[in-house]
A and B are shown apart, each in its own frame.
Chain A
Amino acid sequence: MMKMNPNFLSASIGLFALMSSATFAQGPLTPPASGDSVIGPDAALSTGTPVPFMKTLHEVEPRMPISQPASAAAITINTSGSYYLTENLFFLENGISIAADDVTLDLNGFAVTHENLVDGGSAIILQSGVSNITIRNGSIAEGGLLGTVFNNGISSSSNVTNVRVTDLHVRNCANQGIELPKTGGTIVKRCQVRSTTGTGIEAEIVSQCTVNEADSSAIDTRIANGCEVLGPGGILAEVASHCRSTVDGTNAAGLAADLVDDCEGDSQSGKGIAGLLVYNSRGECASGDIGIDAEIVYRSFGQAVNSTGIRADHGVAHSMASSSGLTGTGIRGQNVTNCRTFSNNLAAGILADQTISFSHGNGGSITGVTVIGCSQQLGAPITGTNRFFNKPLP
């Protein structure tokens, strides 16, 4: 009978075990076959011993890494998949071009910057016709060495569809900040844009974004929700809710939207809010233009200097307006009811093309075809072809 050296045996067992462990630590390089159609997390760790189901590094980070390209040349993504940055990237002209459908690009908290002697290019470009694109989580900015900037942060063809951009900072663009078509199913959410010569953000839905110092429109969208804007450009939207816009230094409207709910619009020399239906909102112009200008206004406040606090083509109801200066009017509408105005004594308080009812003026005058149940505290007497149940000046 052959005798085995016990030391050799124990060493062999240990070595074999280590080799086995080393062999299986990363698991197989091929994924489980589709025929193995049931999986669960216990399969890999149920015994407490590493088994072939241990993860590979690819399984830990399966996405495609993007690193700094040689010569700072543009990168083109032409295969569907999920990509992420591994470092800050800089480019001489264009940055990352997406030319395939079904692409997710995670900037992974890194920045894409422009380094050249002159401005130019776009940090991220969506090529013609691509769809199902997501870009998220990072920054786009001017270069740190030469300080040159991209023309556009994100630019796209007009026929891209299903695009989502979230959690980006974009700063200093010679043209647009984030530019997506408004009719393609595009959303920009939780993004911040600062200092663009063109539009700050353009997309179908813009939600919870801030834009500062956009020379053109700060936000141009179909639905604006919970946005805040400050600078030369204001908000353009079909529907705006819970937004605040302050236009400084230009005559652009603070907020121009068809439907406005729960918003604030301020402008230095343009309309505070320009809309069709304005509800539950406040608009103010600091000098020479209208506070709120709409077709109908309800439960809102307008303020102006040498202009009209609230002007409506048709009804104004349950609202309040203030106008100061020599030529201002508190409220001007077709029919006005249950409103209150403060205005300079020389200016009109409430001026209606048809009927004013159950309203009160402080300063100016109340003038309509029919005036019913109104009162005047200061200013001129109430005038109208038909006057009923009014309280004259004290």
Chain B
Amino acid sequence: MIDSSSRIRQSVASFLFLAAAGAVLAQGPLLPPTSANGTIGTVPPISGSGIPQGSMKTLHQIEPRTPVSAAMTISDPGSYYLVQNIAVASGNGIVITAPNVTLDMRGFTVSSTASPAAGTAVLIESTAEQVTIFNGNIRGNVSFSGGSPGSYSGSGFLHGIRAPSLNSENLRLEDVSIDGCLGDGINLEPGSGSGFGGNNSIVTTCLVRNVAGDGIRAEIVEECVVRRCGGNGVTALKASHCAVVTTGSSGVTSEGINASVLQSSIAESPQRGIAAEQAVNCRGAGVSQEGIVGKKLTNCDGSSSQGAGVSADIAVNCRGFSFFGTGLSAQTATNCMGENQSGINGRGLSASCAVNCYGESLSGAFGLTVAGTVSFSTGKRNGGVAIEGGNAIGCTVEGTGSVSVLTKSLGTP
């Protein structure tokens, strides 16, 4: 005879067995269907009796990542995704304190109405590293109010995405748009100016607009646009294919792009357009400072009102224009051209050594000035000194200017 307690134990055991069997079948076989089966798709699991079969997937298997539906702190490593727009009235949006986190914004927006503007839309804390954020928007109501230097006002976040600590290494940001912050747009590197903390950060295909501070700060910045930015537009160790327009802002430095290595980019700033160690195929426009300044510039075009259009140690195939300053200034200039509009110290092209160059001043001091040797080049300053300086070899004058050099040879007039 079986007593009731034994039956209960049997019933519980039976249920646990069924539950266990269900749990096993819910996951399906670990092996994929054999090729002889011939069909892989949605038909086999749901075409029969309606009862889940061995190959059914759980919702967790379909979307194994963790949903995020509100402002919060991510404190565990893992893969997360937004399931809706997230709006806050104060403070931060999402704070990441764990390492090894991927946040897919999934096309949604993190926004703030904080007034005055405060907090950060996505804050990467010092305990977080190896973080990827992609595919979404950040929105505030900060806008450019005009003026030069520009002024910005409005509610929203102070910063868009920020990693203020040296400890946050290996950060990657892609396909994020930011509009309206009273501080920085994207700042993944602590420090200021061109000083970097070495966070191994990469930012690609991001758009930043209406930010009173810096636009983007990261080690590598590629294919990004920054417009209406009060501080520096893009600050990077390596940047390429970026377009930047900064407005300046009272009391802050506002360079268009500052990078060690820069390729095929355009920047405009009320201060300096571009500052780079090396730049290839870039255009910079400044007002109070240089259009583009660097150690080695190749195929670059710079213009400025007050400063030099192009200023380089080595300039190859570059063009510079300045209204009141020197069009192109270099230690060595090869196949370059510089033009100056006016100014008592304005020079078209000024160099220690210049080869195959052209310098012209419309109403400034000199067309082409060299401290050392200028060869196979042409200067132009109608009614003034076209070529001035040291040693001129095989040079010519265009227009009615004169030559004033220490030594000249090989046809130099």
Contact = CB atoms under 8 A, between A and B. Distances in A.
What 9 A-B pairs are tightest by C-beta distance, nearest first?
A10-B11, A104-B107, A6-B7, A40-B76, A82-B107, A386-B411, A31-B69, A62-B83, A298-B317
Contact of A132 (B76, B83, B177, B241): B177
Interface in A155-198: 161-164, 166, 183-187, 189
A16 B355 CA distance: 91
B216 interface: no
Interface string B193-224: 00000000000010111000000000000010
Contact of B266 (A54, A101, A239): A239
Interface string B297-326: 011110000000000000011110000000
A368 B67 CA distance: 73
Given A6-B8, A10-B14, A32-B70, A102 B135 contact: no
Interface of B: 2, 4, 7-8, 10-12, 14-15, 18-19, 23, 59-60, 62-63, 65-76, 78-79, 81-85, 98, 106-109, 111, 135-137, 139, 175, 177-179, 205, 207-209, 223, 225-227, 240-243, 263-266, 280-283, 298-301, 316-319, 334-337, 355-358, 375-378, 394-396, 398, 410-411
Contact of A241 (B178, B263, B318, B394): B263
Given A239-B266, A296-B317, 8 more contacts: A10-B8, A14-B18, A41-B66, A55-B67, A225-B240, A238-B283, A279-B281, A355-B377
B230 to A, nearest CB: 16
B72 A355 contact: no
A295 B412 CA distance: 23
B301 A14 contact: no
A259 interface: yes
Given A134-B107, A223-B264, A314 B337 contact: yes
Nearest to B393: A372
Nearest to A62: B83
B74 A39 contact: yes
Interface string A246-276: 0000000000001111000000000000001
Contacts of B396: 335, 354-355, 369-370
A365 interface: no
Given A55-B59, A370-B394, A164 B266 contact: no
A205 B337 contact: no
Given A10-B10, A42-B76, A205-B223, A17 B15 contact: yes
A93 interface: no
Main secondary structure on B side of the interface with A: mixed
B111 A102 contact: yes
A57 to B, nearest CB: 7
A7 B2 CA distance: 12
Contact of B12 (A13, A42, A58): A13
Contacts of A241: 241, 263-264, 281
A279 B11 contact: no
B394 A134 contact: no
B4 A4 contact: yes
Most buried by A among B10, B71, B72: B72
A223 B74 contact: no
20 contacts: A10-B15, A14-B11, A14-B14, A36-B72, A38-B72, A40-B74, A42-B76, A54-B59, A62-B67, A132-B109, A132-B139, A163-B207, A239-B282, A239-B283, A260-B299, A296-B337, A298-B316, A335-B378, A357-B376, A386-B411
Contact of A63 (B107, B137, B301, B395): B107
Nearest to B316: A298
Most buried by A among B11, B63, B81, B411: B411
Nearest to A106: B107
